[in-house]
């Protein structure tokens, strides 16, 4: 019999994490453990209010499955009992973890994925004044920076940051904060300073303008892209999609989505919510399929789990089995 343990946890953020929709000072996560007496499998998710999720709601979703899990619910059947989202992500990743331990294999081997290698991850700069973001960029020491934009003053922010770090690679994430009226001007400014990718410039429900203009910088879907059923709607509007396990509902559907996106000619970013190393570890298995990796969640926290992922400079290293997988 397999037992399910569900824990709501909070991890303080170093300082404050700010995007166009607001700020937070802690990461609220839900952790799942599956125990069969000989093995333990773990997973973590980050419930996200933008998608109608809460910690309490996710805990309730998972608790409702106690009986099914005790009776032997398999990972292959999980997609039929939970919708895509945070709850399914935590449970799916825990199932991968315990299945790998039972089989005495690594998850990437079981999934037919390449062995993960150290990879450059983006480092996120919170939305702030042009001067503050330029200073943060100078002090970051990272090769690939992700700039949170999406409010008045973004053109000044771009100029200030590029002047501060002329050699850094830049990604922009507007978090749905631009409009059809200012879209072309903002994309042109991004192209001028050498931005390599722009994430979700328009609201997910109002992004038709992306198909009607030239895109001098590739545009990546985030809030517009969830699971497999959202892929067709991206055609003509986006050049890439940000795959986050909390959106797809776990590694299982994330792998399917990544392969379908490649077949559709879309580039892949593998991204994250602000969570601990336990949430990043499964996502790292998608890094060999991705053009961009944005798995810096633990770097934004004041404290991480132990054991944790190893970050050195701009690189993050694959997880050890003691953490996950």
Give the residue numbers annotated as catalytic, written as ranges. Answer: 148, 244
Are 241 and 220 spatial neighbours (Cβ–Cβ below 8 Å)? yes
How far is the CA of 138 from the CAs of 132, 135, 147, 289, 292, in angstroms?
A: 10, 5, 13, 30, 21
Residue 130 phi/psi, 5-degree rounding, is -55, -40
Spatial strand order in the sheet of 267-270: 123-125, 144-148, 169-173, 195-199, 219-221, 240-243, 267-270, 292-293
For the CA atoms of 160, 166, 167, 172, the dihedral, rounded to the nearest 10 degrees, stands at 30
Please, which residues have CB within 8 angstroms of residue 104's CB and are 6 or more apart in sequence? none
């Amino acid at each position: 019999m397999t037992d399910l343990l569900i824990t709501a946890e909070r991890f303080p953020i170093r300082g404050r994490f700010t995007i166009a929709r607001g700020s937070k000072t802690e990461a609220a996560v839900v952790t799942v453990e599956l125990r069969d007496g000989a093995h333990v499998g773990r997973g973590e998710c980050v419930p996200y209010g933008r998608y109608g999720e809460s910690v309490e709601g996710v805990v309730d979703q998972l608790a409702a499955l106690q009986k099914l899990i005790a009776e032997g619910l398999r990972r292959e059947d999980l997609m039929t009992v939970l919708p895509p989202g945070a709850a399914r992500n935590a449970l799916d990743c825990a199932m991968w973890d315990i299945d790998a331990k039972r089989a005495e294999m690594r998850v990437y081997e079981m999934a037919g994925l390449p062995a993960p290698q150290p990879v450059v991850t983006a480092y996120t700069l919170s939305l702030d004044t042009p001067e503050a973001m330029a200073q943060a960029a100078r002090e970051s020491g990272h090769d690939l920076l992700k700039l949170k934009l999406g409010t008045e003053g973004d053109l000044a922010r771009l100029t200030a940051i590029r002047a501060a770090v002329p050699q850094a690679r830049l990604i922009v994430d507007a978090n749905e904060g631009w409009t059809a009226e200012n879209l072309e001007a903002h994309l042109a400014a991004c192209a001028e300073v050498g931005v390599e990718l722009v994430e979700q410039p328009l609201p997910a429900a109002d992004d038709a303008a992306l198909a009607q203009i030239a895109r001098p910088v590739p545009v990546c879907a985030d809030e517009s892209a969830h699971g497999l059923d959202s892929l067709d709607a991206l055609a003509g509007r986006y050049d890439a999609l940000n795959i986050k396990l909390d959106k797809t509902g776990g590694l299982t559907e994330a792998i399917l989505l990544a392969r379908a996106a490649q077949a559709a000619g879309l580039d892949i970013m593998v991204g994250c919510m602000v969570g601990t190393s336990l949430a990043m570890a499964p996502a790292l298995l998608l890094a060999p399929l991705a053009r961009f990796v944005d798995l810096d969640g633990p770097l934004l926290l004041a404290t991480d789990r132990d054991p944790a992922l190893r970050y050195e400079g701009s690189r993050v290293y694959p997880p050890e089995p003691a953490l996950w997988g």
